Structure 1
Amino acid sequence: MQDKFIYEYAIIQFAPLVERREFFNIGAILYSKPKKFLALRFHIDEDKLAAFKSEYTKQELEAYLKAWERICNAEPKSNAIAQMEMPDRFRWLVATRSTIIHSSITHTGVCEDPEKELEDIFERFVL
């Protein structure tokens, strides 16, 4: 187990009407402190979006998720949250919120390669 590292992840969900508590998965975010890794992947299924009869467009949701991506990447020209330490950025992104885009509870695991693990989680729960 010496080559394995602890990670945490959450599934990113879209809830067109928060009050109805209906959602579908649109992404995954993974953080590994030992590997200094924080990233997310997202995909918005247009058929699911249409089935939910959402007032939000795919482009609007992607813009919101790209802001999350900038926070993960700590882009210097992004907002103040992007300038926080990596663990704090992850905690902010996965904090419980009542918005159209939110995350599931966090889960933990161990892996050798966080990038590969994120791709596996993304394929399993989003695609």
Structure 2
Amino acid sequence: MREADTYDYAVIRVVPRVEREEFVNVGVILSCERARFLKARIEVDPTRLLALDPSIDLELVGRHLAAIAAVCEGGEAAAPIGLLPPRARFHWLTAKRSAILQTSPVHMGRCAGDLDATLEHLMTRMVRVLPPAVPV
């Protein structure tokens, strides 16, 4: 039996008006040091963001979210941060900041299987709006 991997994750939040501290979860960053895995999955619901701030610049938000994904991928395109090891990039991405894009506190989990599937599971639980429950 394969040994479980320990991973860390943080939820990506868009905070349209920082002073109000309201946010919409738009993605998850998942890091597994042992597997040298660092990936972000992002899904933006413009309707939810516009509900918090009708004047939000969705194009600007999209560019900033694309930068998070680029830093996770690493390499020259995300330099100089993209040249750091995956774990250092994760810590840089999840550092506390007061800006339109923030992350939740870092949480830990264990996974004995596919880290991509784990990331998908976290997206379903933390980001996607679930359909309303059907009364019985």
Percent identity of paired positions between Structure 1 and Structure 2: 33
1:40 aligns with 40
1:103 aligns with 2:103: yes
Runs (4+) of structure 1 exceeding 4 A deviation are: none
User: 2:116 aligned with 1:115, yes or no?
Assistant: yes
The residue aligned with 1:125 is 126
Paired residues, number:
127
Higher deviation after alignment, 16-25 or 53-62: 53-62
Mark the runs of 5 or more structure 2 residues left unpaired by the alignment: 129-136
**CA–CA distance in structure 1, aligned partners of residues 108 and 63 of structure 2:** 28
Structure 2 residue matching 1:72: 3-state secondary structure: helix
Residues in 2 aligned to 1:102 and 1:50: alpha-carbon distance in whole angstroms? 17
> Deviation digits for residues 6-37 of structure 1, max 9, x if unmatched?
00000000111111111110110000011110
1:45-71 deviation digits (Å, cap 9, x = unpaired): 121012112433332212111111111
| Pair member with larger Rg | 2
The root-mean-square deviation of aligned C-alpha atoms, in Å, is 1.3
Unpaired runs of at least 5, structure 1: none
* Aligned residue number for residue 21 of structure 1: 21
Superimposed CA distance per residue, residues 82-122 of structure 1 (whole angstroms, 9 cap, x where no aligned partner): 11111110000001100010100000010022111011001
Instruction: Report whether the alignment pairs 1:65 with 2:97.
Output: no
**TM-score, length-scaled by structure 1:** 0.93
8 Å CA contact retained: 1:44, 1:58? no
Q: In 2, Cα distance between the equivalents of 1:80 and 1:102? A: 20
Between 64-73 and 53-62, the greater mean CA deviation after superposition:
53-62
Equivalents in 1 of 2:76, 2:54: separation in Å? 33
Indicate the SS of the match to 1:47: helix
Structure 2 residue 30 is the aligned partner of structure 1 residue 49: no
TM-score w.r.t. structure 2 length?
0.87
Contact 2:17 2:53 in 1 (8 A): no
The residue number in structure 2 matching 1:75 is 75
